[in-house]
Structure 1
Amino acid sequence: MNLDVLCIGHAACDVSLFVDSYPPENSKCETHESLEGCGGPAANAAWLLSSWGLRAGFAGLVGDDVYGRRARDELEAVGTNVSLMELRSGHVTPLSMILVNRENGSRTIINRKAGATALSLDAGAVRALSPRVLLFDGHELGASLTAMREFPDAVSILDAGSWREGTATLASKVQYLAASERFALQATGMANLKGAQEQQECLRRLRSQFGTRTIVTLGERGLIYDVGDGFDELPAFSTAIVDTTAAGDIFHGAFAFGVARGMPLREVLRLASMAGSLSVRKPGGRSSAPTLAEVEEALCLAP
């Protein structure tokens, strides 16, 4: 089977609790709204890509438990290839508790992630999938490097959410570094990216440090990028924020979709930005993901 995109990294199950305001320490609050589902940056991207009609696969490690089986089943339900997904006996599937603040749509995540031996990929099994695009989230470094060795001609993308061993190592090896503002600040040591001067300096430092095509997402302030032609930016699409859970994952999944489709970079970024913008208007992670038709329609109406 030839895949369009292989996503490698983290899978988890999510429990989102919606609160009127963020609770202070040592307090008690009530909620009458919650959502349960599966998530994880690479897993969410694979789910989106499959639901948008591409041949996508996911490689990651979960436990052979109720949460791990649910994570696998949700991916299989949309047609994702899970032949490289390991359900390991004795391993505890990551579980994320997400507090969503109704006042501003922000989310605070507490992730239960038990330490375990990393995912190991069989080179032959990877070769059988022959992906054209590789998307990493930095959680499975060894498996990511194996895939890059097997497919040196595949377009590689890193969803760099925060600074960790995997993202730090892969950032200089991939063709596209699609980083969050948090990662950018951690990597450069800068205090903020509020002004144009700081944003340009950030991209200069990232390009100097990692030497790759670089995009930095800034949430409601849009994104900045430099793919070798100098500084450029894309303003955010106007939106009402209800819940930002998985918005970054949806952005990166849509980015990989555009790359796999061979779209020009500016169009790829507009597609990914609109997908993320539409997602924050609804509560939850995957439940907030827009359809491809909804994104395309919104782009037609956007300035």
Structure 2
Amino acid sequence: MPLDVLCIGHAACDVSFFVDQHPQENTKCETHESLEACGGPAANAAWLLSSWGLRTGFAGLAGHDAHGRRIREEFVSVGTDVSLLELRPGHLTPLSMILINRQNGSRTIINRKEKGAFLSVDTIALLPLKPRVLLFDGHELEASLAAMEAFPDAISILDAGSWREGTAALAGRVNYLAASERFALQATGLPDLQADASRRQCLVDLRKQFATRTIITLGERGLIYDEGHGFNELPAFPAHALDTTAAGDTFHGAFAYAIFCSMPLPDALRFSSMAAALSVRKAGGRTSIPTLTEVKEALAHV
């Protein structure tokens, strides 16, 4: 059956520890609160889209181990197509340790991922999926390029969290570049995006470099974007942040949903921003993803 959205990229297992403050080097600290779940940028987006009722597939690489099987089981539980999820014997499933600061909700992530291990996608296996939307996170460049070649009419979105080979190569090829502040600074060389002039210059530089619709998320400072007609900005919805883990993944998954539903870009960004704002109010990554009903109701009461 054809898919609505195909997400390609990174899947991991996450272990989150909640601490009263970020620990200093060469010290010990104790916590009584932790969470274990699956995660990853494209993986969380796929889980969100599946749980929101879209026919969604995930393509990525994990190990043929307990962590990899858990990743597959969590996808299956929400109906995600896992025909392109490879559980490779001898490969270590990516594993993340996340420290969440209770004082401000910030998260620090340490990710273990094997170098030089990439997903190879069989074009014959791709073709029956026929997705309308493609979402990449830059971790699986070869598979992402293969999907773009197989589905030239699909709307493509890049979740560019940081500058790496995959995000750099895909940024100028997709219909929507949805970049983090970190990626934007790495791509442009600007020192920060605090001033209005810097934010405007950043969008100009990214449009010149990649020539596509560009969005830069700025966390609690909202976002800026240019769909080809110049600078625009959208403030963040107020939220007391308990845990910011997966807020960006939630934003990108909600954005893919909005684009699939043919929302105009300003409406799609407002919708996605609300989903992200709701997510930071709960602990954990995937456990903090709001339901579609929650997002719609929150928007209706703004």
With the length of structure 1 as denominator, give the TM-score of the two structures.
Answer: 0.99
Matched, 1:54 2:20: no
Q: Is the 8 A contact 1:3 1:55 kept in 2?
A: yes
Matched, 1:269 2:269: yes
Q: Which runs of 5+ in 1 are unaligned?
A: none
Report the equivalent of 2:108.
108
- Matched position secondary structure for 1:119: coil
Give the C-alpha shift of residue 218 in structure 1. 0.1
Matched, 1:238 2:238: yes
Matched, 1:4 2:4: yes
Taking the aligned partners of 1:117 and 1:7, their CA distance within structure 2 comes to 18
Matched, 1:283 2:254: no
Give the C-alpha shift of residue 92 in structure 1. 0.1
Report the equivalent of 1:90.
90
Q: How does 1:1-303 map to 2 (within 5 A)?
A: 1-302=1-302
Give the C-alpha shift of residue 250 in structure 1. 0.5
Q: Report the number of matched residues.
A: 302
Give the C-alpha shift of residue 195 in structure 1. 1.3
Q: Which runs of 5+ in 2 are unaligned?
A: none
- Matched position secondary structure for 1:149: helix
- Matched position secondary structure for 2:37: strand
**Per-residue CA shift, 1:75-127, capped at 9, x if unaligned?**
11000000000000000000000000001100000001122431000111111
- Matched position secondary structure for 1:38: strand
Fraction of identical pairs, as percent: 70
Taking the aligned partners of 1:74 and 1:192, their CA distance within structure 2 comes to 38
Taking the aligned partners of 2:76 and 2:190, their CA distance within structure 1 comes to 42
Taking the aligned partners of 1:293 and 1:178, their CA distance within structure 2 comes to 24
Moved over 6 A (4+): none
User: Which letter does structure 2 place at the counterpart of 1:123?
Assistant: T
User: Which letter does structure 2 place at the counterpart of 1:97?
Assistant: M
User: Which letter does structure 1 place at the counterpart of 2:251?
Assistant: F
User: Which letter does structure 1 place at the counterpart of 2:223?
Assistant: L
Q: Is the 8 A contact 1:91 1:116 kept in 2?
A: no
Taking the aligned partners of 1:76 and 1:234, their CA distance within structure 2 comes to 35
Taking the aligned partners of 2:228 and 2:114, their CA distance within structure 1 comes to 40
Taking the aligned partners of 2:265 and 2:244, their CA distance within structure 1 comes to 24
- Matched position secondary structure for 2:206: helix
- Matched position secondary structure for 1:128: helix
Taking the aligned partners of 2:69 and 2:250, their CA distance within structure 1 comes to 22
Give the C-alpha shift of residue 192 in structure 1. 0.3
Q: Is the 8 A contact 1:72 1:82 kept in 2?
A: yes
- Matched position secondary structure for 1:275: helix
